[in-house]
Chain A
Amino acid sequence: QLQLQESGPGLVRPSETLSLTCTVSSGSISSSPYYWGWIRQSPGKGLEWIGSIYYSGRTYYNPSLKSRLTISVDTPKDQFSLDLSSVTAADTAVYYCARHKAPSSAITAVGQNWFDPWGQGTLVTVSS
């Protein structure tokens, strides 16, 4: 059964970069047509899709975060990562990684997208 596990610092200083890694186990990150996504949840903004990446490195980002966001993939390690720069208190949230079922190698192609399964989530607090 596919499992995902987030890892990274639980505390990040304002203006610094938030970095998280998701490790996929009991499955391959190179499976098609699956993307790998990041979603966060905060009391103020609820659930927010951050972005998704294909094993080839193709990415889709939420425009609201795009200027600060980098998502990358390491296929030999079955890992993908999130870097969010210039963080503020508004970036405090529980961050989840999830497998993103896409209609094809392009998530904007005609067809359904969904997130399943999810990692357990990791709380990241932005504070000095």
Chain B
Amino acid sequence: DIQMTQSPSSLSASVGDRVTITCRASQSISTYVNWFQQKPGTAPKLLIFGASSLQSGVPSRFSGRGSGTDFTLTISSLQPEDFATYYCQQSYNTPFTFGPGTKVDI
């Protein structure tokens, strides 16, 4: 199975900050990475698919980059509603696997 790791595991930030989360795959996975946002008590929400494509309805302050083994999710200007946990997920092959998450809080 492809292992996904994320760093940091948590971070503290303020409204307006630029935040970058890193995801690393245990092998090259081209651009087969998706990013999700999860708030407490709710289901994960798709933000980015294919490493850099913004899902419809997702604010443009979210962006994704990367290919191969290293990927990033950037929030250009953190908003109050962005405090949440973020997960990467590989769709290069089955079984699809997720990273352990990065919690963004104040």
Residues of chain A touching chain B, judged by Cβ–Cβ distance below 8 Å, are: 46-49, 60, 62-64, 96, 98, 101, 107-108, 112-121
Sorted nearest first, the 8 A-B pairs with minimum C-beta distance are A118-B43, A116-B46, A113-B91, A47-B98, A49-B96, A62-B95, A114-B49, A112-B50
- What separation, in Å, do the CA atoms of A113 and B43 have in the docked complex? 18
Please name 8 pairs of A and B residues whose Cβ atoms are closer than 8 Å in the assembled complex, sorted by A.
A46-B101, A47-B89, A62-B94, A96-B44, A116-B45, A116-B46, A117-B46, A121-B43
A6 CB to closest chain B CB (Å) equals 10
- What separation, in Å, do the CA atoms of A69 and B55 have in the docked complex? 31
Which label, helix, strand, loop or mixed, suits the secondary structure of the A interface?
A: strand
Of B43, B89, B91, B97, which one neighbours A96 at CB under 8 angstroms?
B43
Whether A108 lies near B46 (C-beta < 8 A) is no
Complex contacts, B42 vs chain A, CB 8 Å = 120
Whether B95 lies near A113 (C-beta < 8 A) is no
- What separation, in Å, do the CA atoms of A83 and B94 have in the docked complex? 20
Whether A114 lies near B93 (C-beta < 8 A) is no
Whether B49 lies near A48 (C-beta < 8 A) is no
Residues of chain B touching chain A, judged by Cβ–Cβ distance below 8 Å, are: 32, 34, 42-46, 49-50, 55, 87, 89, 91, 93-101
Query: Considering only CB atoms, which chain B residue lies closest to A94 in the complex?
Result: B43
Whether B101 lies near A113 (C-beta < 8 A) is no
- What separation, in Å, do the CA atoms of A113 and B94 have in the docked complex? 10
Whether B95 lies near A118 (C-beta < 8 A) is no
| Further contacts, 5 of them, CB under 8 A, given A114-B34, A121-B43 | A46-B98, A112-B49, A116-B46, A119-B43, A120-B42
- What separation, in Å, do the CA atoms of A96 and B36 have in the docked complex? 14
Query: Considering only CB atoms, which chain A residue lies closest to B87 in the complex?
Result: A47
Task: Tell whether A108 pairs with B93 under 8 Å between CB atoms, given A114-B46, A114-B49, A120-B42.
Answer: yes
- What separation, in Å, do the CA atoms of A96 and B45 have in the docked complex? 12
- What separation, in Å, do the CA atoms of A64 and B95 have in the docked complex? 9
